[in-house]
């Protein structure tokens, strides 16, 4: 498996992986995560260096993206979605994508990554409830599932309300 930046030829594979990973039933409609990735691609919050794919046998088997978010007016990152083909789940693909995207974000001097996800999974990557850092979730009902991970350039006084890139709100996901 190879983890690398997304290339233009990967867009169709990313859509397929996202759909397969987030579809609730085999015959259900396209999941919101697939629409989200398409809209993020066209949004000013898209950061090409932070859209990574996992490749095996020249096929996209996983994808993760961080886009421009904000804590009040300060730049931060929102991580979502992360997607892995169902047959590749529980085989380390997601575990490989996470440190890769966090390392890429850190290397570009980003201060903070926020996400909504299962605390038991994401704590192994250094995430903790965002509230512990004084970061307020877009939806207070998210509680400890809204998490943050400070990076090397994190200023300890970075506190306030987090907001994702515009497509999250447009799709009712924040």
Residue 91 has pLDDT above 90, yes or no: no
pLDDT of residue 88: 74
pLDDT, averaged across the chain: 95
Q: Which long-range contacts (CB under 8 A, 24 or more apart) does 136-145 make?
A: 136/160, 136/161, 136/162, 137/162, 138/162, 138/163, 138/164, 138/168, 138/174, 139/174, 142/116, 144/119, 145/116, 145/117, 145/118, 145/119
| Residue 63 near residue 51 (C-beta atoms within 8 A) | yes
pLDDT of residue 26: 66
First-last CA distance in the chain: 32
Band of residue 89 on the pLDDT scale cut at 50, 70, 90: confident
Interval 137-164: pLDDT, tens: 999 999 999 999 999 999 999 999 999 9
Interval 8-58: pLDDT, tens: 999 999 999 999 999 876 666 789 999 999 999 999 999 999 999 999 999
Residue 157 DSSP symbol = T
Band of residue 101 on the pLDDT scale cut at 50, 70, 90: very high
Domains plus CATH for the chain? Answer: 2-170 (3.40.630.30)
CA distances from residue 49 to 59, 64, 93 in whole angstroms, order as listed = 20, 11, 19
The pTM is what?
0.94
Q: How far is 155 from 88, CA to CA, in rounded Å?
A: 37
Would you state the structure tokens that stand for residue 112, as one six-digit string?
């903070």
Average pLDDT over residues 60-68: 98
CA distances from residue 72 to 67, 134, 160 in whole angstroms, order as listed = 16, 12, 6
pLDDT of residue 24: 75
pLDDT of residue 103: 98
């Amino acid at each position: 498996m190879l983890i690398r930046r997304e290339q233009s030829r990967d867009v169709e594979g990313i859509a397929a992986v996202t759909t397969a990973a987030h579809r609730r039933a085999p015959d259900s409609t396209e999941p919101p995560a697939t629409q989200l990735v398409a809209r993020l691609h066209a949004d000013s919050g898209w950061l090409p260096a932070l859209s990574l794919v996992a490749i095996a046998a020249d096929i996209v088997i996983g994808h993760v993206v961080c886009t421009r978010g904000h804590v009040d007016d300060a730049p931060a990152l929102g991580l979502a979605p992360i997607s892995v083909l169902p047959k590749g789940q529980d085989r380390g693909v997601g575990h490989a994508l996470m440190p890769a995207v966090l390392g890429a974000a850190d290397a570009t001097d980003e201060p903070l990554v926020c996400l909504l996800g299962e605390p038991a999974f994401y704590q192994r990557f250094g995430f903790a409830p965002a509230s512990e850092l004084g970061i307020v979730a877009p939806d207070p009902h998210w509680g400890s599932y809204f998490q943050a991970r400070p990076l090397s350039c994190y200023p300890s006084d970075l506190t306030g309300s987090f907001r994702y890139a515009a497509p999250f709100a447009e799709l009712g996901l924040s």
